[in-house]
Structure 1
Amino acid sequence: MTERKYFGTDGVRGEVGGTTINAEFALRLGYAAGRVLARKRRQDGRGRPALIIGKDTRISGYMLESSLEAGLSAAGVDVLLAGVVPTPAVAYLTRALRLEAGIVISASHNPFQDNGIKFFSGQGMKLPDEIESEIEAAIDEPLDCVGSADLGRARRLEDSAGRYIEFCKSTFPNELDLSGLSIVVDAANGAAYHIAQHVFRELGAEVHAIGCTPDGFNINDGVGAMFPQHLAEVVRERGAHLGIALDGDADRLQMVDSTGRIYNGDELLYAIVCDRMTQHPVDGVVGTLMTNFGFEKQMQALGIGFERAKVGDRYVLENMQKHGWLYGGESSGHLLCLDLHTTGDGIIAALQVLTAMRRSGLQLADLVKSLKMYPQKMVNVPLTPGLDWQHHDGLSRARSEVEAALGERGRVLIRASGTEPKLRLMVEAEDEDLAEQGIQKLLAVNLTNA
């Protein structure tokens, strides 16, 4: 794939007012996307295309939504405005309403100063690379407008939240309910603030909602999946059974039990996979380079295939589709259950963990008791511009020595940051001292020269 000028691995993202996340760029992006999708629709002989736009609670979402709407309309594309809904809700609605594509305005777990624009295909998955490349190529072309008779229309989809709530509930087994459970739901002051609490309440739980008072500026601000410690405190204070934390666009999940223990994506995915094994065979699971080594070892012990993808739910999904596997995820809490949805979904993932608890009669700690998480030591070090760290003699030698010392008891991961000039060093080992010894050996390398 050729290098992209605007699109990253998950659409366009940046600081509001920068070179891409501004009103003019959003107008051009909407027009470019509209032209590409309208041309594709005409080639297929299916008439005028329609898209849906959803957003999170950032103040900049209004500006970007209006600009995208104008660009799409100028290209002759009809627009449905879903308002504030989670990213996975846009994926679901795009597919359920048989639309050409869906657009999400969100920067996920980032602070309110950032925003982003990403696309879903009509199948509720990320747009194919070739379509994204066509859109990218069209962004810098002259902005024009179809004739008045061909302009796209826009209307509000008033029941978008309700449709999505019912979809989420449909992924929880009919014979089960959540009665007797007290749950604290933290929506990160983000896109699920008016949705998540209703899903769990309507399934029978007693729900206490936090992080559900967005003001345009407080998304992910000390709450949600990025700050699960806050949820842990509230769960303990209220004597609740569980806590559920989502991020700003509700595609990421962390959970907390009654003691305040925090469970990350690896542990939650393990609980889901073990439950699914009681229902049908599980051929394989996809993690990422950051998935805990203990998870990999436990998959091997269970006779389940396991592969690591690059960090990012896009790459996890690609690997799952390549193998025809149904389950995958990231330590950060992006969890995919392709037997239920086409994309990662924090609310649906939480419901699958609750399904495992209800079906087994076990507490969350008991569900993951057999999963031994290996201690991880992670350090970011400055990376001198132009330094070829992959062929750095000292670093290569230190890595080989650490890997030899670890053997089958751990692993080493070294990767460059995709957003800043830093090298990320990680050592995992079956005990903390071994991991610490390994990371110190890597840190002792002088990375200012080859």
Structure 2
Amino acid sequence: MSRRYFGTDGIRGTVGEAPITPDFMLKLGWAVGRVLARKLSCHEVRQRAIGASRPKVVIGKDTRISGYMFESALEAGLSAAGADVSLLGPMPTPGIAYLTRTFRADAGIVISASHNPYQDNGIKFFSAEGLKLADDVESEIEAELDKPLETLAPDQLGRAVRINDAAGRYIEFCKSTVHNRLELHGLRIVLDCAHGATYHIAPNVFRELGADVSVIGAEPDGLNINRDVGSTHTERLRERVLERRADIGVAFDGDGDRVLMIDRHGNLIDGDEILYIIARDLHGRGKLNGGVVGTLMSNFGLAAAFEKADIPFERAKVGDRYVTERLFANDWLLGGESSGHIVCRHVQTTGDGIVSALQVLAVMVREGVALDALLEGFEKAPQALINVRLPHRDAAAAVMQSETLQQSVAAVEDELAGAGRVLLRPSGTEPLIRVMVEGRPRFDVQAMARRIADSVETLIA
């Protein structure tokens, strides 16, 4: 239950069997409030002032128009269960994680569908520590959803307040994650805020640190979030970087937990490259404290570069929650995905696009070099990805276990001979099998991936 995406028409998306509607969001808020109240009464987790026994929840959202509707519904449900609510307004997802801790709330709720179009929306929960809710808490919330909604007496209802300085608090936090003497004077930066939650945050952060900032994608109207801008559409950012002869371009997604970059030559710098830059810097200064967690989709060249630098590297399943789980299991500080979701545990509890960008800029300033120069030692391996559509999701298991397919994969692996890899992965949301092959430049990875994809297509024909 840590992340839900759905269509706002209540038909396209569901949580379990329940259609997503304002009524459901009200019920969800009530269920969350009930669980938090029960835990508060049973386990005095933190010292509280006398009389402050109601659970406290902060709610933030991105800029899509449906967020206002769902915010009101969640607020009503939480209040009906006796929880106090602090409304943060439009705020990046990592900002809500930070403010949940700052306001000593019992939980934080984000209303966002990240990089998806405006028609979609979703929710994500944070614990009091700014981390994902524990599985047992999620299970309790699921159980409460099956119970009839009961409103408390008027004198027991929760109160709601709007936090007017939430943006300013988060701006100061972002700046605090780099050295207090860091100055970006002389750097020309172009920001793409995806018409999303960073539109009123990121420009102020970078300007207050002294950069010459130009901004695109910072005029949200509720309907244009992620439309032809942001980390999933970097073409406009590239054009603006080259036009302004900027030193760097920074692209966020709709809720601000991902970041991609454009260097001065117009080249895209993805999450693997950002992860390498930050890891190499921390390792060189003796502050990495272990290794780095990537995912099954992390480039083969990233693993090779870390091996050469004597930096331990581990792959997790695709998804930020799995990266975070492995970081905690290893007690490591740094992990991330190719998509640009980077977790810098030494400064933030969750993926944070602004914070990750500042980490890279700090390295540029400290070493006095351009962004592209920081990638020395990292040779990205060519990668081919083919999505093969299945007749239905249930077909994936049989296809993946097929001996014919395994033989096709083994043949390609033999050709790569350790200088590349093959990954077959069923999609978690669509009836697809993703075929990925990557290897050294001497290999035709596209042809190799096509051979494996043809085997899949033959099996489902």
Query: Given the two structures, how large is their TM-score scaled by the length of structure 1?
Result: 0.96
- Whether 1:213 aligns to 2:219 is yes
Is structure 2 residue 25 aligned with structure 1 residue 26? Answer: yes
> Which residue number in structure 1 is paired with residue 312 of structure 2?
305
- Cross-structure match for 2:432: 422
> Paired residue for 1:411?
421
The structure 2 residue matched to 1:360, chosen from 335, 359, 367, is: 367
Match of 1:68 among 70, 74, 93: 74
Q: Which residue of 2 aligns with 1:334?
A: 341
The answer (yes or no) to whether the contact 1:384–1:447 under 8 Å persists in 2 is: no
Does the 8 A contact of 2:399 with 2:456 survive in 1?
A: no
Could you say which residue in structure 2 is the equivalent of 1:271?
Answer: 277
Q: Is 1:375–1:432's contact at 8 Å kept on the other side of the alignment? A: no
Residues 95 and 446 (structure 1), Cα distance of their counterparts in 2 relative to 1, 3 Å cut: closer
- Following the alignment from structure 1 to structure 2, what is the Cα–Cα distance between the partners of residues 237 and 106? 32
Deviation at 1:80, TM superposition (A): 0.1
Residue in 1 that maps onto 2:59? 53
Amino acid at match of 1:301: K
Question: Which residue in 2 is equivalent to 1:203?
Answer: 209
Q: Is residue 411–residue 427 contact of structure 1 (8 Å, CA) maintained in 2?
A: yes
Q: Which runs of 4+ in 1 moved over 3 A?
A: 446-450
Q: Give 1:226's aligned residue.
A: 232
Cα distance in 2 between the residues matched to 1:212 and 1:281: 35
State the match for 1:284 in structure 2.
Answer: 291
Q: Which residue of 1 aligns with 2:118?
A: 112
Query: What does residue range 163-242 of structure 1 map to in structure 2 within 5 Å?
Result: 163-242=169-248
Shift of 1:448: 5.1
Question: Which residue identity lines up with residue 444 of structure 1 in the other structure?
Answer: D
Q: Residues 21 and 115 of structure 1 are in contact (CA less than 8 Å); yes or no, is this contact kept in structure 2?
A: no
Deviates more, 1:192-201 or 1:38-47: 38-47
CA distance in 2, matches of 1:448, 1:29: 45
Matched to 1:120, the amino acid is: F
| Distance in 2 between residues matched to 1:21 and 1:303, nearest whole Å | 48
Is the contact between residue 253 and residue 350 of structure 1 (CA under 8 Å) also seen in structure 2? Answer: yes
Partner of 2:250: 244
After TM superposition, give the deviation of residue 406 of structure 1 in Å: 0.7
Q: Is the 8 A contact 1:79 1:155 kept in 2?
A: yes
Q: What does residue 444 of structure 2 align with?
A: 434
**1:11 pairs with 2:3:** yes
Q: Is the 8 A contact 1:89 1:164 kept in 2?
A: yes
- Percent of aligned pairs with the same residue? 52
1:244-284: CA deviation from partner (whole Å, max 9, x where unpaired): 10000000000111211110000011111111123215310
Give the length in aligned residue pairs: 442
Letter in 2 for 1:221: R
> 1:352 & 1:446 partners in 2: Cα distance?
42
Task: Say which of 352, 375, 378 aligns to 1:371.
Answer: 378
Q: For residue 38 of structure 2, what is the aligned residue in structure 1? A: 39
The question of whether the paired residues in 2 share the 8 Å contact of 1:37 and 1:100 is answered with: yes
Deviations 1:225-258 (A, max 9, x none): 1111210001111221111100000000001112
Q: Which amino acid aligns with 1:232?
A: R
- Aligned partner of 1:3 in structure 2 is none
Q: Take 1:269 and 1:364, find their aligned partners in 2: how far apart are those partners? A: 13
Partners of 1:447 and 1:29 in 2: how far apart?
Answer: 42
- AA in 2 matched with 1:269: L
Structure-2 separation of matches of 1:443 and 1:97: 51
Mapped to 2, the partners of 1:432 and 1:78 lie a distance apart of 61
Which structure 2 residues correspond to residues 370-389 of structure 1 after superposition, within 5 A? 370-385=377-392, 386-387=394-395, 388-389=398-399
Q: Distance in 2 between matches of 1:44 and 1:443?
A: 54
Deviations 1:349-383 (A, max 9, x none): 00000011011111111100210100000000112
Structure 2 residue matching 1:231: 3-state secondary structure: helix
Which amino acid in 2 is paired with 1:395?
L
Distance 1:426 1:330 in 2: 16
- Within a 5 Å distance, the mapping from 1:385-400 to structure 2 comes to 385=392, 386-387=394-395, 388-400=398-410
Quick check: 2:197–2:255 contact (8 Å CA) kept in 1? yes
- CA distance, structure 2, for counterparts of residue 77 and residue 414 of structure 1: 45
TM-score between the two structures when normalised by the length of structure 2: 0.94
Unaligned runs of 5+ in 2: none
Residue 340 of structure 1 aligns with an amino acid whose one-letter code is: V
Contact 1:13/1:21 (CA < 8 Å) preserved in 2? Answer: no
Structure 1 CA distance for aligned equivalents of residues 389 and 215 of structure 2: 40
Q: State the AA in 2 paired with 1:203.
A: L
Q: SS of the residue aligned with 2:122?
A: strand
The answer to whether residue 332 in structure 2 is matched with residue 325 in structure 1 is yes
SS in 2 for 1:445: helix
Shift of 1:59: 0.3
The residue type equivalent to 1:271 in the other structure is I
Could you tell me which amino acid in structure 1 is paired with residue 132 of structure 2?
Answer: K
- Counterpart code for 2:446: E
Q: Is the 8 A contact 2:196 2:253 kept in 1?
A: yes
Determine the C-alpha separation between the residues in 2 that align with 1:281 and 1:84.
34
2:129 and 2:454 map into 1 onto residues whose CA distance is 49
- Please report how far the alpha carbon of residue 437 of structure 1 lies from its aligned counterpart in structure 2 after TM superposition: 3.2
